[in-house]
Amino acid sequence: MNRGMQLFRRRPLALISFAIVLLYALIALYGESVYRWHQWTDTTPAYQNQDIEQQYEPPSARHWMGTDGLGRDVFLRVVQGTRIAFHVGVITSCIAIPIGVLLGLIAGYFGGRIDDAVVWLYSTFAAIPGLLFILAIAMVAGKGLTGVFLGIGLTTWVGICRLIRAETMKHRDRAYVQAARVLGYSAPRILFRHILPNVFHIVIVTFTLRFPAAVGTEVFMSFLGIGVQGEPSWGLMLNSARGRLWQGVWWEMTFVTLAVFLLVLAFNILGDQLRDALDPRSQDSSDRSLA
Q: What is the pLDDT of residues 8-63, one digit of tens each?
A: 567 778 888 888 999 999 988 887 676 555 555 556 677 777 778 788 888 888 88
pLDDT at position 40, please? 52
pLDDT at position 195, please? 92
In a domain, 32, yes or no: yes
Tell me the one-letter amino acid at 131: L
Give the number of domains in the chain. 1
pLDDT at position 71, please? 81
* Mean per-residue pLDDT, 208-225: 87
Q: Could you list the residue range(s) of the whole structural domain that residue 141 is in?
A: 2-38+51-290
Mean pLDDT taken over the chain: 82
pLDDT at position 115, please? 93
Structure confidence by residue, pLDDT tens digits, 97-135: 999 999 999 999 998 999 999 999 999 888 887 778 877
In a domain, 43, yes or no: no
In a domain, 76, yes or no: yes
Give dist(CA 271, CA 144) in Å, integer.
29
**What region, left, alpha or beta, does residue 261 occupy, with left being phi > 0 and alpha being psi -120 to 50 degrees?**
alpha
Smallest CA-to-CA distance from 95 within 32, 36, 141 is with 141
In a domain, 28, yes or no: yes
In a domain, 274, yes or no: yes
In a domain, 285, yes or no: yes
User: Are the C-beta atoms of residues 171 and 195 closer than 8 Å to each other?
Assistant: yes
In a domain, 45, yes or no: no
Give dist(CA 19, CA 81) in Å, integer.
19
From the number of C-beta atoms within 10 Å of its C-beta (0-12, 13-18, 19+), residue 133 rates as: middle
Q: How far lies 183's CA from each of 8, 92, 108, in Å?
A: 37, 38, 21
Say which CATH number the domain at 132 has: 1.10.3720.10
